[in-house]
Amino acid sequence: MKDKVKHYTRENADTYIGENKQNIRLDYRLQYHLMSEYGWMNDPNGFVFFKENFHLFYQHYPYTSYWGPMHWGHAISRDLIKWTYLPVALAPDQSYDESGCFSGSAIEKDGKLFLMYTGHVVTGPDKDNDYIQTQNLAVSDEGVRFEKIQQNPVIPVSLIPTSASQKDFRDPKVFERDGKYYAVIGSNDNSKNGIILLYRSEDLQHWTFVNEIARSDGHMGDNWECPDLFQLDHQDVLVVSPQRMPSQGYDYHNIHSTVSMLGRLDTEQGKFHYNDYKPMDYGFDYYAPQTCEDNQGRRIVIAWMETWEIAIPTQEGHHWAGAMTLPREMRIVNDKIVYRPVEEIKTYRSELYELKDVLLSGEQRLECTGDSYELDVVFDAFEAEEFGLKLRVHEKEETLISYRVDDNLLRFNRDQSGIGPKGERLTKVPLNNNQLVLRIFVDRSSVEIFIQDGEKVMTGRIYPGTESLGIHVFSQGKCRIVSLNKWDIL
């Protein structure tokens, strides 16, 4: 593909997208989640509230539906639901980023928007092992056209400590604290343990290494990517995406994972003090989350709604791949992080279907259908052994969400969800006053399950046939549907 475009520039990318986006197939395109306009999408980048808009950049290869030399796509939104595409923000057009503009973040300074990103350069014949990574800046007055600064790289290889990998050094998340700028950067210790490095600056351009602030305990993956560090309700939160993290009980069964840690950052000593870590999502497809604080003081997180190293059905013949999750507000409740859909999604509800106080035994098809909707349901377990929902049902196709009372396990199964990846994820969910509260968002090829008011979330991509629109409820033994509300989301 590079031969066709001769060299990678923003202008070439925008032209190619404009000439080819009409070729996209729409059957699995999401209605209320952000996707690329054309081509490949992965990690969210530069998530920021700037000049009355949410800006979300993303890892993007605009020429095919497969990963390639990374660009930064760009979209803006007033409400986090409906997005407007802007011109490609970054292309790999300099000697320090010629193999890709990898992930990074955004920050406002002096009324301008700065992007800090990883420049990736392949240095030898083995592209998977021969490379270097540096951190670079681009700046814009209005938040649309970005220019890379002459001083790049602002964090060169020479500022990598000898105790860290000299290759894996990426995904800077920049933030301000006590009048200084800091950046957390993902890496590893060369001994198969992920680590996070902290850097400090007075002006975003001149940086010094502070310390390694956190590392794997030996069970948290061999490399840490896409760090984020922020304050939430007077506590510090560190988010990382560990690669190749081994499973632990019912958790971390994906190839790569995401975790959050509640603690305290000591900026002087350069240490993050924490006691525990938790998955950010208990489903199949959630990676590289990034947060921003908006003008209401909310902490919003969004992630790539896919999984590395698994084939995506839309890559073949559809001309696009990848999507973002529904943005989620993060809060601390009873010393735990909870995740709730942003309130703005409620304004897109239409066509309410509802049930109240229904005693259920066996399986029942609801008198409503859909492929893009919100479903809020409260079950009372009553006498049931197992109960739940079947979504996108038609003939042998269904996506199963079920709860077993004897072991408190919620099951998300997509073995019969259509084409695409299969499998099952399980997570422990204690009932609350014998009740299970689910808020489920289905959007053509995605399912997001918010459990017990956001105590846990399970996310997964599904690819059912266009006729698979049915919604069923079921119970082995008697359970009670306290309430069920279903809205189309338009």
Q: At 319, which amino acid appears?
A: H
Angle made by CA atoms 389, 302, 421, in degrees to the nearest 5: 50
CA–CA distance, 187 with 36 (Å, rounded to integer): 28
In terms of Cα–Cα distance, which of 54, 192, 59, 172 is closest to 113?
54
Encode burial over 186-216: b for 16+ CB neighbours within 10 A, e otherwise. bbbbeeebbbbbbbbbeebeebebbbbbbbb
CA–CA distance, 228 with 259 (Å, rounded to integer): 11
Q: Among the options 3, 14, 27, 43, which is catalytic?
A: 43
- Within 166-298, strands assigned E span 170-177, 180-188, 194-201, 207-215, 223-232, 235-243, 259-266, 271-274, 278-279, 287-293
- The answer to whether residue 415 is catalytic is no
Task: Find out whether 379 and 435 touch, Cβ atoms under 8 Å.
Answer: yes
CA–CA distance, 122 with 3 (Å, rounded to integer): 18
Residue 352, phi then psi, degrees to nearest 5: -70, 130
Encode burial over 396-421: b for 16+ CB neighbours within 10 A, e otherwise. ebbbbbbbbbeeeebbbbbebbbebb
> What's the DSSP call for residue 161?
-
Q: At 386, which amino acid appears?
A: E
Residue with tokens 């649309």: 144
A 10 A CB-CB count for 127 gives: 11
Cα–chain center distance at 91: 22
Which residues, other chains included, contact 283 with Cβ-Cβ below 8 Å and sequence gap of 6+? 412, 425, 448, 449, 457, 458, 459, 460
CA–CA distance, 58 with 133 (Å, rounded to integer): 18
Q: How far is CA 472 from CA 379, 449, 468, 484, in A?
A: 14, 16, 12, 12
DSSP letters of 365-387? Answer: EEEEE-SEEEEEEEEE-TT-SEE
CA–CA distance, 214 with 418 (Å, rounded to integer): 41
Helix (H, G, I), strand (E, B) or coil at 479: strand
Angle made by CA atoms 203, 205, 210, in degrees to the nearest 5: 80
The catalytic residue positions are: 43
